Structure 1
Amino acid sequence: MITNEFASAFVTDWIESWNTHNIKKIMAHYADSVSFTSPFIMELKHDPTGAISNRNDLEAYFVQALTKFNDLYFELIDIYLSINSIIIQYKSVNNMIAAEYMELNENGKIVRVTAHYSKRN
């Protein structure tokens, strides 16, 4: 089960990794076997299905996103916990509110992500 302490430390490091645009630190949060879905995948024309199913493509997508949004900065709003998953709600690019469902493995690495966005600002 994910504890409050683990979730807080994990999310703080995840946000900091993105805000410093440190791709190695970002990727350190993800397992070797990962499934990632996001409407931004289609928007960036990385994959027409909006899904990525391997770590190498995920890293390439993240590098592409960091290049396109070179002023990317996330602002944490809230964290939601379950047994083996976390939802991170944060302010994203273009003042969009994002909520990412992240399923973690027994080593605390992300194995599945579903990203959601709202145009609320």
Structure 2
Amino acid sequence: MQIDPSRFAAAWAAAWNGHDVDAVLAHFHDEAVFTSPFARQVLPDTGGVLRGKAAIRTYWSAGLARIPDLHFDIEAVYAGVDTLVIAYRNQKGVLVSEVLRFAGDRVIEGHGTYPLQADNPTGARSQR
């Protein structure tokens, strides 16, 4: 991996906690793909799959508008050959993971993952 996992995770969290979409996107390739069940809620036409920085920017900007108190606290960082997993707690206290695959020093593919017991990534529990 061409990045320092701990430094990347710290910069990633700082960019998110600063609500700086441009700083987060600076870590991504122009052709990056990002998936998230929350993206499916925010932008239903995407099916939760965002292709390219412009689509990712649209989603993240809409997400920040919906969650103005968004904040991430890193719990753990896991490094693979070309993959990084950042486990963090969001502003609702829900443990979430971001799975990032790299091409060189930029993210080419990312996946927001959430616990099965959470019906939505904002942390609201099911009433069922």
Give the 3 Å change call, closer, same or farther, for CA 46–30 of structure 1 in structure 2.
Answer: farther
Deviation at 1:48, TM superposition (A): 4.4
> What whole-Å deviation, never above 9, does each CA across 1:68-105 have from its counterpart, x for those lacking one?
10000000000001011100000014222111110011
Length-normalised TM-score, structure 2: 0.85
Q: Once structures 1 and 2 are overlaid, which stretch shifts more, 84-93 or 41-50?
A: 41-50
Identity of aligned residues (%): 23
Identify the match of residue 16 of structure 1 among 2, 14, 24: 14
Unaligned segments of structure 1, at least 5 residues: none
Query: Aligned partners of 1:85 and 1:114: how far apart in 2?
Result: 11
Unaligned segments of structure 2, at least 5 residues: 124-128
Query: Aligned partners of 1:46 and 1:71: how far apart in 2?
Result: 23
Deviation at 1:40, TM superposition (A): 0.3
The runs of at least 4 consecutive aligned structure 1 residues that moved more than 6 Å come to none
- 1:115 maps to which residue? 112
Give the 3 Å change call, closer, same or farther, for CA 115–7 of structure 1 in structure 2.
Answer: same
Query: Aligned partners of 1:13 and 1:40: how far apart in 2?
Result: 22
Identify the match of residue 50 of structure 1 among 28, 48, 51: 48
Query: Aligned partners of 1:117 and 1:83: how far apart in 2?
Result: 23
2:24 counterpart of 1:35: no
Deviation at 1:2, TM superposition (A): 5.0
Asked if the contact 1:72–1:93 (Cα under 8 Å) also holds between the matched residues in 2, the reply is: yes
Asked if the contact 2:101–2:110 (Cα under 8 Å) also holds between the matched residues in 1, the reply is: yes
Deviation at 1:47, TM superposition (A): 3.2
Length-normalised TM-score, structure 1: 0.89
